[in-house]
Chain A
Amino acid sequence: MGRPSSRRRAQADALLHGTARLAAVGAGLLVVLMVLFLALEAAPVLHATGPLRFLTDRGWYPTQGRFNLGPMLVGTTLAAAGALFLAGPLGLLSAVFCCFYAPPRLAALYRRMLELLAGTPSVVFGLWGLVVLVPLINRLHPPGASLLAAILILALMVLPTLALTVEAGLRAVPTEYLQAAAALGLSRWTTVSQVALPAARPALIAGVILATGRALGETMAVLMVCGNVVQVPRGLFDPVRTLTANIALEMAYAQGSHRAALFVSGLALAAAIVFFVLAAEFAERRTRHV
């Protein structure tokens, strides 16, 4: 290889670096563009009423100029938190099952099933929830369409995202670790809990963040089972409305300041997610120091 070739190689490297950086920044800019778009659409009503009224108004009656988003923020948070509370352990165990417990054939089958579950349209989840789950809960405690139903459906929907991400992380744990664990005679569960899972921590965190994003942003399925009443729930059986359901339910029929107020819901959601992402990052940094 002569000199010119090595220069061309350096150019190729520079090009690669440039392309990668551009793509990354471009992808990052998408969210800026989106928030900008939301803000632009929400501006009229924010300008007219001021942001505070979205927390202090009496109820959400946008056609009457009452825009309280507070209960929906609570609903969104509760539904997402509940879903994660359920899907977290189950997803983790599913991933562990795939990597360490199931025979290879079964593991492949199970992984395929998780992929299918991840790709099942939310409408199908919603439909199943509406026709099967809600009547069941209704028998337990009316009206059936409730926070509990939303949590269950959401948990089912975020579980595959979480499980597959963690599973990919577990599979990437260096073989040496596991062999060392085996050499020490550690039991399977000890290996999983003390060696593999800590080694796969970045994937775990990524999975939780992705799953939370999905839980916060899921629209159609939640809308079909959560009851959609704008209120702060007093129990698991009370109906709630999430911010996303609010947008999906009313956007098609909203005009003027009502429409703009729905974009404020979108902005509020974006803010909630930003808050969560920062909190997760903070928590991660804290645990890393320990």
Chain B
Amino acid sequence: MPAAFGTRSLPRGLFRLRALPLLTAAILGALTGCAPTHSEGGAQANATPTASSGGRLTLTGSSTVAPLAAEIGKRFEQQHDGVRVDVQTGGSSRGIADARQGLAAIGMVSRNLKPDEQDLRAFPVARDGICVIVHRDNLVRSLADAQLVEIYTGKKRNWKEVGGREGPITVVHKAEGRSTLELFLQYFRLENPDVRAQVIIGDNEQGIKTVAGNPRALGYVSIGAAEYQVTQGVPIRLLPVGGVEASTENVQNEKFPLSRSLNLVTRTEPEGLVKTFLDFAGSPEVRDLVEKQYFVPVADGQTE
């Protein structure tokens, strides 16, 4: 429906593209204008936060570590007046990138540092194990490493072949890049392209819910989370790996073969507020917080 008023009566050219750069500039200007100019904003980071009371500490990275870091941060805030600890998630790779670029004082990484990441310093705050889970109604009580490999590479596709009830196995696998996946592949000496999965998942909870809703599924998730869900009556069962029972205890005493550490990383040798925080996060004072998030505390006083 053509407009009955407008274009014809108005000087159109005036508002053509000529005004565009002006507009863009104006909008951008207005936006930057309202960006925080107060000094407290120096938070971000590369400005080395000083030890003086007050200041803001930004942590970014792994979503696995984030809830724990946020809890630690809250307790830290209570003990240090005026200090604010801001925790942001976005994944381990973000933690690495932000720590490197100085966008965050501390990065959170849910795995061990890779060889090309040795420019960063890592401070473990907790450990986490990975266990294999099946549905509670599954008859299978344990799977040998070789059997698991055969299932994950698609050579065995039916539970009957590994001592269970007749029925196709639903193999639940993790998405590329996840540290859980890397650890799993490394332990079983698998190459990711060889894996034949029926479901690929992101987070632990998704894995647990997938297996809980499918009596023929087989997956691997974080031990702490799985143990907790079992106590809550979620119908899953933890299988031993390499003959070792999957439990947080066995992760703690390092008997369990599949485990990783959850790290805080910095670009430089920490000092000032960052150091205070890292010391606090690695101390026994936060032990209960670590356990409350269903992770395993690191051995006392141990750093890298």
Contact = CB atoms under 8 A, between A and B. Distances in A.
Taking the complex as a whole, does A directly touch B, i.e. does some CB pair lie under 8 Å apart? Answer: yes
A103 to B, nearest CB: 32
B92 A253 contact: yes
Nearest to B172: A143
Interface string A126-164: 000011001100100011110000000000000000000
B14 A227 contact: no
Contacts of B164: none
Nearest to A135: B213
Given A254-B177, A258-B177, A64 B217 contact: no
Contacts of A241: 200
B10 interface: yes
Interface in B68-101: 89-94, 96-97
Interface in A240-255: 241, 248-255
A26 B176 CA distance: 38
B214 interface: yes
A143 B201 CA distance: 13
B23 interface: yes
B177 A250 contact: yes
A62 B176 contact: yes
A239 B177 contact: no
A249 B27 contact: no
A255 B97 CA distance: 9
A241 B24 CA distance: 38
B213 A249 contact: no
A255 B214 contact: no
A143 B199 contact: yes
A142 B216 contact: yes
Contacts of B12: 17
Interface string B22-43: 0110010000000000000000
Interface in B170-220: 170, 175-179, 192-193, 197-202, 206, 209-210, 213-214, 216-217
Contact of A61 (B6, B90, B91, B192): B192
Contacts of B200: 227-230, 239, 241, 249
Interface in A65-94: 66
A36 interface: no
Contacts of A223: 202
B6 A17 contact: yes
Kindly state the interface size class of chain B when it binds its partner.
35 or more
Nearest to A230: B200
Contacts of A249: 175-176, 200, 202
B176 A255 contact: no
A281 interface: no
Contacts of A31: none
A115 interface: no
Nearest to A59: B193
A165 B96 CA distance: 44
Nearest to A15: B15
Contacts of B20: 22, 25, 29
A22 B19 contact: yes
Contact of A18 (B17, B19, B90, B179): B19
Given A63-B177, A131-B213, 12 more contacts: A21-B19, A25-B17, A63-B176, A145-B198, A228-B201, A229-B200, A230-B200, A239-B198, A252-B94, A255-B97, A258-B176, A259-B93
Interface of B: 6, 9-12, 14-17, 19-20, 23-24, 27, 63, 89-94, 96-97, 167-168, 170, 175-179, 192-193, 197-202, 206, 209-210, 213-214, 216-217
Interface of A: 13-14, 17-18, 21-22, 25-26, 29, 59-64, 66, 130-131, 134-135, 138, 142-145, 223-224, 227-230, 239, 241, 248-255, 258-259
27 contacts: A13-B10, A17-B12, A17-B15, A18-B15, A21-B19, A22-B20, A22-B23, A25-B20, A26-B24, A26-B27, A29-B24, A61-B193, A130-B213, A143-B199, A143-B214, A144-B214, A223-B202, A239-B199, A249-B176, A252-B93, A253-B91, A253-B177, A253-B178, A253-B179, A254-B91, A255-B93, A259-B93
